[in-house]
Amino acid sequence: MTESGPSGRPDRVVVVPVADMFSSPDENSDVVSQAIIGSNVVTLETHHDWVRVQTDDQYSGWISRNDLRELEESRGYATSGPVVRVEALFAKVYREPSVQRHKPILTLPFESLLEVAPRREAGEPGWLGVRLPDRRPAWIARGDGNGNPRPLTIPQSIELAKRFLGLPYLWGGRSSFGYDCSGFTQMLVRSRGIRMPRDARLQAEWEGAEKIDRKRLIPGDLLFFGPSPDKVNHTALCIGEGEIIHSTTQNRPGVQIGRLVDQSSERTLVACTRVKGVAAGKT
């Protein structure tokens, strides 16, 4: 039996490092996206052990009920008070402030947002106490997190992109455990403090960016490929000097730097866009 439960506001939080979002309530269906730990989501529908949710980028999919916790508090998780965002590509989480006493209890991806536990910020040099979304107390190394993340400039976001070189491609991926093409560009634009849609086609049609001519490309611009403008199937980021960076299935699938002139005929460049407010020659 399926029941609907439109809440209009986040009413559940992801409690596992990365939760797959499926197209239907069946783990054998295709993965359409992911939600990382600490993400507050809106319940759209439930079906047995599955919950169809909407993430903050307005994307929806089915997540296992075991990967979520119902929010009892009126606010979402990590929406107020001191928080820390994981800045390492992968951060180990421990039950004690030590890497020697016990094995890690979790490995978290880049961008994971955690609540800083009250009265646990001090007293353990090099460590930060946190409260996980499932309410467990834990510790992470201070160097793995950032308590005051700020939007990056375009050059800084390009340097961030290069940290992921060699990371394997993952269909539906939206974390440092593996990105697909649009998940990767979405993350890079998000690092600049800008929210962009999830899919490549929606990104190409996004009103937050303006179409530009290929000859006017500057670092930070987005490039879209496909058999036609209405059939976009791949996206990349311009990094200058005729180079792009993207998560691709070509050659060894993963994050790679390529040259625009090397793109295959199957991925013809069909559109170029620039986030509105970015002037040519200014990054």
Does one domain contain both 125 and 141? Answer: yes
Give the span between the Cα atoms of 31 and 90, in whole angstroms.
Answer: 22
Does one domain contain both 162 and 223? Answer: yes
Contact criterion met (CB below 8 Å) for 162 and 245? yes
pLDDT 10s digits, 209-238: 999 999 999 999 999 999 898 999 999 999
Task: Tell me whether residue 122 is in a domain.
Answer: yes
Task: Tell me whether residue 283 is in a domain.
Answer: no
**pLDDT at residue 1 greater than cutoff 70:** no
- pLDDT, greater one: 171 or 266: 171
Does one domain contain both 270 and 181? Answer: yes
Contact criterion met (CB below 8 Å) for 273 and 206? yes
Does one domain contain both 95 and 66? Answer: no
Give the span between the Cα atoms of 144 and 28, in whole angstroms.
Answer: 34
Does one domain contain both 237 and 255? Answer: yes
Q: How confident is the model at residue 167 (pLDDT cuts 50, 70, 90)?
A: very high
**pLDDT at residue 255 greater than cutoff 80:** yes
CATH number at residue 96: 2.30.30.40
At what angle are helices 154-163 and 181-190 packed, to 10 degrees? 140
Q: Which residues contact 169 (CB under 8 A, 6 or more apart)?
A: 178, 179, 180, 247, 248, 249, 253, 254, 255
pLDDT 10s digits, 270-280: 999 999 987 65
Contact criterion met (CB below 8 Å) for 83 and 114? yes
Does one domain contain both 141 and 194? Answer: no
Mapping DSSP onto H, E and C, the string for 234-283 reads EEEEEEECCEEEEEECCCCCEEEEEEHHHCCHHHCEEEEEEECCCCCCCC
Does one domain contain both 123 and 178? Answer: no
Q: Which residues contact 118 (CB under 8 A, 6 or more apart)?
A: none
pLDDT at position 266: 47
Give the span between the Cα atoms of 101 and 257, in whole angstroms.
Answer: 40
pLDDT 10s digits, 134-159: 999 999 999 999 999 999 999 999 99
| Bridge partner list, 245 | 237, 257
Does one domain contain both 62 and 102? Answer: no
Domain that holds residue 19: 2-70
State how many domains the chain has: 3
Q: How confident is the model at residue 2 (pLDDT cuts 50, 70, 90)?
A: very low
pLDDT 10s digits, 94-131: 999 999 999 999 999 999 999 998 865 555 789 999 99
Task: Tell me whether residue 77 is in a domain.
Answer: no
Neighbours of 210 (CB within 10 A): 13
Does one domain contain both 112 and 219? Answer: no
Does one domain contain both 204 and 234? Answer: yes
Neighbours of 200 (CB within 10 A): 23
Q: pTM of the prediction?
A: 0.92
pLDDT at position 187: 98
Task: Tell me whether residue 165 is in a domain.
Answer: yes
- pLDDT, greater one: 179 or 75: 179
pLDDT at position 150: 94
Q: What is the dihedral of CA 57, 60, 64, 65, to 10 degrees?
A: 80
